[in-house]
Structure 1
Amino acid sequence: MIQRPTALLIDFDGVLRRHDPSIAAAIEARHGLEPGAILAAGLEWDRQLPAITGQITREEWLESIAEALKVDEAVVAEWDTDKGEIVPEVLKFVRDVRKAGIKVGLATNAMDDLADVLALHGLTAQFDAVANSSEIGVHKPAPGYFRAACALIGALPKQCLFIDDTDRNIRAARAAGLSAYRYTPGDDLTYARKALNI
């Protein structure tokens, strides 16, 4: 018999938060960069990994991007002012899950500024736990990340439903013993609601 999840772990970027790429593209165009160049440089693994595992700060990460692109640090700082927007229907889902008495943890690969970002969006009190990879020291999709996230929410892996927008993370969560559901933009989360019986 399949056990119904009794806890939820949900991703931040690509699920609860979204960015309008035209904002970054406009900044890049003003400074003679190709659309997406700053993010692409930031996501290069040798640069991203230390930032999402707490080895360097977000400021150091931003500085490394400027150095890689050979632009002034002010350009990357301007790009970084866009903190995205919260997806209303996903936030409502989170609130409904908690209202139903189910614990919700934010499970994200993030940097040392995550608490400030959550505060900026008014999300500080919206979760029962925050599994920030830069604090844990391990990132998704490593098995150790999922063990730590489940522990933070006070649940066993088999009791957790994990929602993410990346196939690799979904597969890894399932391998770690969690139930997992892939979110795509515009999803009304009906399946996830049914899985949680809310």
Structure 2
Amino acid sequence: MINTIIFDLGAVLIDWNPQYLYRKIFNDEQEMQTFLSTICTPDWNEEQDGGRSLKDGTDYLVTKFPDQAENIRAFYGRWEEMLGGAIEETVEIFRQLKDSGKYKIYALTNWSAETFTIAQAKYDFLGWFDGIVVSGTERTRKPFPEFYQILLDRYNVKPEEALFIDDNQRNVTAAEALGINAVHFTSAADLAKELDARNLL
């Protein structure tokens, strides 16, 4: 029986996308895409999510690509401009689950500890969680099993009694390998259908 819901945050409850910033910086869409796929890449950003300081991550790339220094420094210097707002339809699902009183609800997020405080100040619903485990604070991240285990151990969650929701199939697969029930998030509408089918909503 499911008594615990574990949400991912980015692209599930919070709309975060570097393109929101870099479309202001680059006039050419292809140049922007090339920059984000070869310089400020998702893999590079995940290193900061996993605990590397923003300064060290930025300095590493500036040394490697000095001609792109200004654009690289904008990534964290103007990070808040990458936030597109709450994904309200999913927040409403969260509200319904919370109001039901049936579940403990946690967040397990790949997020830099240095930027997470900005999100906490911006999104009131982050205060609804019974607990949040942030990769940058723990210095490990999804999909590494030890990151999931931190949440399970800290909040005494049994894997078979939890449902994990994430937009990245890699992270869903990792959760399932630990015995956690998991849903690959594609849209709020599909999530609502999945929760209904499981008699959770």
Q: Distance in 2 between matches of 1:148 and 1:137?
A: 11
What stretches of structure 2 of length at least 5 have no aligned partner? none
Aligned counterpart, 1:151? 153
- How do 1:44-83 residues align onto structure 2 when only pairs under 5 Å count? 45=43, 47-56=44-53, 58-67=54-63, 68=65, 70-72=68-70, 75-76=74-75, 77-78=77-78, 80-83=80-83
User: Letter of the aligned partner of 1:110 in structure 2?
Assistant: W
Indicate the larger mover: 100-109 or 58-67.
58-67
User: Letter of the aligned partner of 2:20 in structure 1?
Assistant: I
Change (3 A) 1:95 1:60: farther
Aligned counterpart, 1:140? 142
Q: Distance in 2 between matches of 1:60 and 1:128?
A: 32
Indicate the larger mover: 33-42 or 126-135.
33-42
Change (3 A) 1:119 1:193: farther
SS of 1:124's equivalent in the other structure is helix
Aligned counterpart, 1:128? 130
User: C-alpha root-mean-square deviation of aligned residues, in Å?
Assistant: 2.7
Aligned residues: 193
Change (3 A) 1:16 1:5: same
Q: Deviations over 1:160-187 (max 9, x none)?
A: 1000111111111000110000111353
Change (3 A) 1:118 1:36: farther
Higher helix share: 2
SS of 1:36's equivalent in the other structure is helix
User: Letter of the aligned partner of 1:180 in structure 2?
Assistant: A
Q: Could you state the TM-score of these two structures normalised by the residue count of structure 1?
A: 0.82
Q: Could you state the TM-score of these two structures normalised by the residue count of structure 2?
A: 0.81
1:30 CA drift (Å):
4.3
Residue from 188, 192, 195 that aligns with 2:195: 192
SS of 1:125's equivalent in the other structure is helix
Indicate the larger mover: 184-193 or 81-90.
184-193
Change (3 A) 1:120 1:38: farther
Contact 1:115 1:124 in 2 (8 A): no
Q: Deviations over 1:123-176 (max 9, x none)?
A: 331211111111122211111111112234431111110001111111110001
Aligned counterpart, 1:43? 41
1:167 and 2:165 matched: no
User: Letter of the aligned partner of 2:50 in structure 1?
Assistant: T
Contact 1:106 1:127 in 2 (8 A): yes
Change (3 A) 1:135 1:20: closer
Q: Distance in 2 between matches of 1:11 and 1:106?
A: 6
1:84 and 2:84 matched: yes
1:99 and 2:99 matched: yes
Change (3 A) 1:127 1:181: same
